[in-house]
Amino acid sequence: MNKTRVLAGMRSSGRLHLGNYLGAAKGMIALQNKNNNECFYMVADLHTMTTPFDKKTIRAQSIDVILDYLAAGLDPNKSTIFIQSEVPEHIELSFYFSTVVSLAKMTHLPTFKEKVRENPDFVSIALVNYPVLMAADILIYKAELVPVGIDQEPHLEVARDIAKKMNGTFGTNFPEPKRFTTKGEYIPSLTGEGKMSKSIEGSYILLTDNYEQIKSRLAKVPTDSGRGNKIPESGGVAVLFKAVEIFEGKEKAEEYKKAYLGKGIQYKNLKENLAKAIYSELKPIQEKRKKLEKNTDYVEQILVSGAQKARTEAQKTISEVRSKLGLNPSGVLS
């Protein structure tokens, strides 16, 4: 039986938060643990270079993400784990893809506009090319499933368009990849506005936060009097109910909602119980991370063999595409 290919990645911008964990990493782990999947998981350090970056820290930040991946349950015996820039074939494929993509379409994407707003003085060609490189990441392995949060949907749409265009124009056989969804596909910000994100201070809980840090981050979530005749659908209280549902179960969340409509809620107790529940899920991950941090040789070894395995697969696709485009399939004179 042919296995279903899976690919996912996260940029190397530091340690993971609960949004990354629930929206992406948990999906990556769930797919890895099914026998009929073949998974490729990377750190997208080239995507990090599409906005201002620091050459002194970029690789260390990639390793930080790798450590979080491994601690959260990615298993190098089941998945191919690597750093994107160590498989340079992705860049070659993205160039071929860029020949079938219009500039206007890329500059109209909401994700592009958001980045321009954040960094108006650094709108590079690499940034415009962001979704094209992401399509290459996925399609170079002919991956059909991509475990990412809902904010990445516009990029998957681009990947499907590119697959169709390449197949129609050049006769390649790329699949049209779909997003693999989890119940944490959108984790709201602790500020009560927008999504949990690394770039918004006060919005997140890190996978490496201890109990006291979690408690103090939750303490800042804005609340109300604890009673009302309608369950809030946005803002801090909605965030708390969502987090309770994820970490303490649906029943507990229903209990609080009933209390909200009736006798009222003590947020101090709710936040304390929630902090305990979150910490008890994160504690084993943190313990595993501490052991891995001391074992840098082991981590580097995973990355070397991951890149080797990924390159073998990537080179097959590159050779096929070069041939379909009328180029020398081997890329060198032979």
Token code pair at residue 46: 């080239």
Residues within window 33-52 making contact with ligand TRP, judged by CB under 6 A = 44, 47
CB-nearer residue toward ligand TRP: 151 or 281: 151
> Is residue 51 at the binding interface for ligand ADP, with CB under 6 A as the rule?
no
Nearer to ligand TRP, 134 or 321 (CB): 134
162 close to 155: Cβ distance less than 8 angstroms: no
Tell me which H or E stretch contains 79: strand 79-83
310 binds ligand TRP (CB under 6 A): no
By the rule CB under 6 A, 24 interacts with ligand ADP: yes
Task: At 250, list the tokens.
Answer: 């649906």
Quick note: the x/- pattern for ligand TRP over 154-193, rule CB under 6 A, is -x--------------------------------------
Examine residue 8 and tell whether it contacts ligand TRP (CB under 6 A).
Answer: yes
CA-closest candidate to residue 311, choices 40, 62, 45, 2: 40
Q: Does position 163 bind ligand ADP by CB under 6 A?
A: no
Q: Which of 82, 94, 135, 149 binds ligand ADP (CB under 6 A)?
A: 149
Helices (H), the chain: 18-20, 26-32, 45-48, 58-72, 89-98, 103-107, 110-118, 125-128, 130-139, 153-170, 211-219, 236-248, 250-261, 267-293, 296-324
Q: Are strands 79-83 and 37-44 parallel, antiparallel or unpaired?
A: parallel
How many residues bind ligand ADP (CB under 6 A)? The answer is 20
By beta-carbon proximity to ligand ADP, the closer residue of 175 and 184 is 184
Report whether 279 contacts 273 (CB < 8 A): no
Tell which one of 23, 76, 131, 192 touches ligand ADP (CB under 6 A): 23
Nearer to ligand TRP, 52 or 329 (CB): 52
Interface positions, 187-216, toward ligand ADP (CB under 6 A):
187, 195-199
Residue whose C-alpha is closest to residue 285's, from 208, 191, 194 = 208
Distance CA 140, CA 315 (A): 8
Tokens of 68: 């979080």
* Cβ atoms within 10 Å, residue 314: 22
Between 11 and 321, CB nearer to ligand ADP: 11
Of 127, 148, 166, 310, the one binding ligand TRP (CB under 6 A) is 148
Closest CB to ligand ADP among residues 10, 275: 10
Binding-site ranges for ligand TRP (CB under 6 A): 7-11, 44, 47, 134, 137-138, 146, 148, 152, 155
